[in-house]
Amino acid sequence: MLGVKKAGHIGTLDPIAEGILPICIGQSTRIIQFLSPLPKHYQCIMELGSTTDTQDATGRVISKKDTAGVTTDQIKGILKEFRGEQKQVPPMYSAKKNKGIPLYKLARSGITIERKPVSINFFSIEFVSREKNQVKLEVHCSAGTYIRTLCHDIGQKLGCGANMSNLVRNGIGLFNLTSSITLDDLQKASENKLLEEVLFPIEKVLKFLPELCIKDTYVKALANGRPLTKGSFKKFPSNFKPGMNLRVSNGSDAILAIVEPMVNREEFDKMNENEIAFKSKRVLIN
């Protein structure tokens, strides 16, 4: 549709789900790794009283139980137990891979393997409404979290079982439903040469990363992938540490690269001007 050679999406959506799917096109595929960890917002409907092999409404029903004794107050109370950092076992019907094979392909072949719990974080889980066995929730969580597994686990705690019957992803970082467009609208924008009005520039998308400002004389070295010394910079954040990602500019809006600190800010302040302080993770200039 857009005449680009490559594209890549950020965050697989379940077959039952709808909502936001950010797609990087052309050169912007180089920043996917920095967007994939962004937190996500969901709205889901949890169906009480039945469990399925996929943990959602597309699967085979494994068990059915009476929900007459399950009160709304009980549900609200259990939601509190799931908030915060915890471990979650990924479902077999998922895009996670085992020796290069997606788990859902193994599951469809009747194969079940042991999955290690993954560290996740539920920043918030809010009760929205309940209509009989249909419970609507709003969830803000870390990347890599399975909402249908959350529904399943809540059902286990309640004792009646549960699965996810509906899911809408309505936020990923700065991406939201308001700023999203359909494929039909993208086609029209392309035909009318209005793509700049609907596509996000890399600079806007990476605005959440702290900024380092480099001296012009070091831009060429950066373009060649060389690590950056303390003396390369004319501006840097008040705090940073190894493991962080930072965007590099030379005072203009353009992002030149993404780098990682090799030291924390306190150690940085004690370094000599010619000592290496940052290493390149992704060069974004040619």
- Per-residue confidence (pLDDT) for residue 253, from 0 to 100: 79
Q: What percent of the chain has pLDDT over 90?
A: 78
**Which candidate in 14, 53, 66, 253 is catalytic?**
14
The C-alpha atoms of residue 104 and residue 91 are separated, in whole angstroms, by: 9
- Per-residue confidence (pLDDT) for residue 282, from 0 to 100: 93
- Per-residue confidence (pLDDT) for residue 209, from 0 to 100: 95
What CATH number is given for 209-283 in this structure? 2.30.130.10
3-state secondary structure of 25: strand
Token pair for 117:
């719990």
Q: Report, as an integer, the average pLDDT of 25-39.
A: 93
Q: Report, as an integer, the average pLDDT of 21-47.
A: 95
Strands 162-172 and 17-19 come out as parallel
Q: Decide if pLDDT at 69 tops 80.
A: yes
Q: Decide if pLDDT at 286 tops 80.
A: no
The C-alpha atoms of residue 281 and residue 101 are separated, in whole angstroms, by: 27
Task: Number of helices (H) and strands (E) in the chain: give both, helices first.
Answer: 9, 19
Average per-residue pLDDT for the chain: 92
The C-alpha atoms of residue 24 and residue 282 are separated, in whole angstroms, by: 15
Q: What's the CATH number of domain 7-175, 3.30.2350.10, 3.20.20.220, 3.40.47.10, 3.40.50.720?
A: 3.30.2350.10
- Per-residue confidence (pLDDT) for residue 125, from 0 to 100: 98
Q: Decide if pLDDT at 132 tops 90.
A: yes
- pLDDT digit string, tens, across residues 47-63: 999 999 999 999 999 99
- Per-residue confidence (pLDDT) for residue 166, from 0 to 100: 97
- pLDDT digit string, tens, across residues 157-214: 999 999 999 999 999 989 999 999 999 999 999 999 999 999 999 999 999 999 999 9
The C-alpha atoms of residue 79 and residue 81 are separated, in whole angstroms, by: 5
3-state secondary structure of 76: helix
- pLDDT digit string, tens, across residues 165-181: 999 999 998 999 999 99
- Per-residue confidence (pLDDT) for residue 159, from 0 to 100: 95
3-state helix, strand, coil in the chain (%, to 5): 25, 35, 40
- Per-residue confidence (pLDDT) for residue 107, from 0 to 100: 84
Helices (H), the chain: 32-35, 72-82, 103-108, 147-158, 183-191, 195-198, 202-205, 219-223, 265-269
- pLDDT digit string, tens, across residues 226-272: 899 999 998 889 899 999 999 999 888 789 999 999 999 999 999 99
* Residue 276, CA distances (Å) to 260, 271, 284 in order: 11, 9, 20
53 part of the active site: no
Domain residue spans of the chain: 7-175, 209-283
Helices (H), 83-182: 103-108, 147-158
The C-alpha atoms of residue 54 and residue 136 are separated, in whole angstroms, by: 19
Residue 64 exposure: Cα atoms within 13 Å on the Cβ side: 3
